[in-house]
């Protein structure tokens, strides 16, 4: 069977660094509270960049690293919930700026699991022979959907983008397995209202003037600490691998306590978990590809390593992937 492989990765981050102390200037919070409860020290906030610009930077780095030209891409999948505009979609806008004229482009929405869902979709197209080179992105400007007066949410998130070019593996390396899941019954614990429907045939509904993320933090926490280890365990069992075989775990960077709890439940050493949330906060769909790119470029993730990627969040959704680099 044809196997899909990650050929290159990249990331694009806004210039503006916002520290916990910066937030404490206008919110009733403190650096100590945020660090202790979340592990986050600072985040990047798009003070001038568009999401398209961040994604373009990530995509160009991934294409450079993989040696793949824009014209060779036959698909672009962008995972986001904060596209600059609903139309045209982010992936088609990327096609335009990259000159990827032969690509089929679509966006995918699965919140913080979005990149894993998009990577799995790319894997399926490649395995079935319907695509050879796919650009996969996870990108968010979450700062535009935050209520900046709500200290329980806005301190957690940041902006950024990450990308991977996926192609056909020439050997045993590549994406070995994936486990995806959703639980719509629990969707209300992490939500973002849409614009109310208003048309000449329907009385105007009273809706929120501005749409912000609402989160029941402890419910999301409970979901993450049980579902993520369960998904990773299932993935490894089905692949005939053990925790000891894994060189690095790249989990969605939502909260340090969630990652520590996952490590404990999996009986895996914490040192095997890649962590960069202290610098970027939670960038939703972008967090796994940004971490993966940093892991690869810093030498922490090396050729031949067995790694686990895992995302979880709104929907609720979750997804884990086993990759031989
Ligand atoms: N600064 C100071 N105090 C705060 C802050 C803040 N920024 N935010 C909340 N508090 C207060 C609360 O008001 C509360 O005060 P009270 O006891 O007087 O009522 C107290 O701190 C404790 O609040 P909790 O909500 O119980 O704090 P908790 O320990 O649960 O931490 C947190 C909150 C960090 C949000 C945690 O629940 C969490 O990380 N949950 C998971 C969230 C997550 O991972 N979301 C993203 C995943 S999905 C996705 O990525 C889209």
Place of tokens 């090396």: 302
pLDDT, position 196: 82
20 lines ligand 1 (CB under 6 A): no
Tell me what the pLDDT averaged over the chain comes to.
96
- Condensed to tens digits (0 to 9), the pLDDT of residues 225-282 reads 999 999 999 999 999 999 999 999 999 999 999 999 999 999 999 999 999 999 999 9
Taking residues 66-84, what's their average pLDDT? Answer: 98
221 lines ligand 1 (CB under 6 A): yes
pLDDT, position 205: 75
Q: Whose CA is nearest to atom 40 of ligand 1?
A: 217
CA of 33 to the centre of ligand 1 (A): 9
* Residue 89 annotated as catalytic: no
Taking residues 43-50, what's their average pLDDT? Answer: 98
Which two structure tokens, joined as six digits, stand for 97? 């700026």
| pLDDT band per the 50, 70, 90 thresholds, residue 83 | very high
288 lines ligand 1 (CB under 6 A): no
187 lines ligand 1 (CB under 6 A): no
Cα–chain center distance at 60: 18
Q: Report d(CA 58, CA 219) in Å as an integer.
A: 32
254 lines ligand 1 (CB under 6 A): yes
DSSP 228-244: HHHHHHHHHHHHT--GG
Q: Whose CA is nearest to atom 31 of ligand 1?
A: 37
Strand segments (E) across 183-269 = 190-191, 214-215, 248-251
| pLDDT band per the 50, 70, 90 thresholds, residue 207 | low
Which residue from 307, 280, 288, 289 is spatially nearest to 62, judged by alpha carbons? 289
In ligand 1, which atom is closest to the CA atom of 221? 41
- Condensed to tens digits (0 to 9), the pLDDT of residues 141-161 reads 999 999 999 999 999 999 999
Query: Model pTM?
Result: 0.96
CA of 217 to the centre of ligand 1 (A): 6
Q: Whose CA is nearest to atom 12 of ligand 1?
A: 152
Q: Whose CA is nearest to atom 1 of ligand 1?
A: 29
Query: Which domains does the chain possess?
Result: 4-172 (3.40.47.10), 175-324 (3.40.47.10)
- Condensed to tens digits (0 to 9), the pLDDT of residues 99-114 reads 999 999 999 999 999 9
pLDDT, position 106: 98
Residues 62, 297 contacting (CB under 8 angstroms): no
From its phi and psi, is residue 287 left (phi > 0), alpha (psi between -120 and 50) or beta?
alpha
pLDDT, position 1: 80
Residues 310, 249 contacting (CB under 8 angstroms): yes
Which two structure tokens, joined as six digits, stand for 11? 């990331």
CA of 290 to the centre of ligand 1 (A): 24
pLDDT, position 172: 86
| pLDDT band per the 50, 70, 90 thresholds, residue 208 | low
Q: What percent of the chain has pLDDT over 70?
A: 99
* Residue 130 annotated as catalytic: no
Q: Report d(CA 9, CA 41) in Å as an integer.
A: 25
CA of 38 to the centre of ligand 1 (A): 8
* Residue 211 annotated as catalytic: no
pLDDT, position 69: 98
In ligand 1, which atom is closest to the CA atom of 220? 41
pLDDT, position 195: 81
pLDDT, position 71: 98
Pocket test for ligand 1, best of 19, 20, 37 (most atoms within 8 A of CB): 37
86 has a pLDDT exceeding 80: yes
Taking residues 4-25, what's their average pLDDT? Answer: 98
In ligand 1, which atom is closest to the CA atom of 218? 37
Which two structure tokens, joined as six digits, stand for 104? 């089929």
Residues 162, 300 contacting (CB under 8 angstroms): no
Q: What percent of the chain has pLDDT over 90?
A: 93
Catalytic, out of 55, 105, 112, 248? 112
pLDDT, position 90: 98
């Amino acid at each position: 069977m044809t196997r899909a492989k990650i050929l290159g990765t990249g990331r694009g981050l806004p210039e503006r660094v916002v520290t916990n102390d910066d937030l404490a200037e206008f919110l009733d919070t403190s650096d100590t509270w945020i660090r202790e409860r979340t592990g986050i020290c600072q985040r990047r906030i798009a003070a001038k960049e568009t999401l398209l610009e961040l994604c373009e930077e990530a995509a160009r780095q991934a294409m450079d690293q993989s040696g793949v030209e824009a014209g060779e891409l036959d698909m672009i999948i962008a995972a986001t919930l904060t596209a600059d505009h609903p139309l045209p979609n982010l992936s088609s806008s990327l096609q335009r700026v990259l000159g990827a004229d032969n690509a089929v482009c679509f966006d995918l929405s699965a919140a913080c699991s979005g990149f894993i869902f998009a990577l799995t979709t790319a894997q399926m197209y490649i395995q079935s022979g319907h695509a050879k080179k796919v650009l996969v992105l996870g990108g968010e400007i979450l700062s535009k959907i935050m209520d900046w007066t709500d200290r329980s949410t806005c301190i957690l998130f940041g902006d950024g983008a990450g990308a991977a070019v996926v192609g056909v593996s020439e050997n045993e390396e590549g994406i070995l397995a994936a486990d995806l899941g959703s639980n719509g019954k629990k969707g209300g614990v992490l939500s973002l209202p849409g614009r109310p429907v208003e048309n000449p045939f329907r009385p105007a509904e009273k809706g929120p003037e501005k749409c912000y993320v609402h989160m029941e933090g402890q419910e999301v926490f409970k979901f993450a600490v049980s579902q993520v280890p369960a998904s990773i365990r299932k993935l490894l069992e089905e692949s005939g691998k053990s925790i000891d075989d894994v060189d690095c775990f790249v989990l969605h960077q939502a909260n340090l306590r969630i990652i520590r709890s996952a490590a404990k439940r999996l009986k895996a050493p914490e040192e095997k978990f890649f962590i960069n949330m202290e610098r970027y906060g939670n960038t939703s769909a972008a967090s796994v590809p940004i971490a993966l790119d940093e892991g690869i470029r810093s030498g922490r993730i090396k050729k031949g390593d067995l790694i686990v990627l895992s995302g979880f969040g709104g929907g609720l959704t979750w997804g884990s992937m086993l990759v031989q680099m």
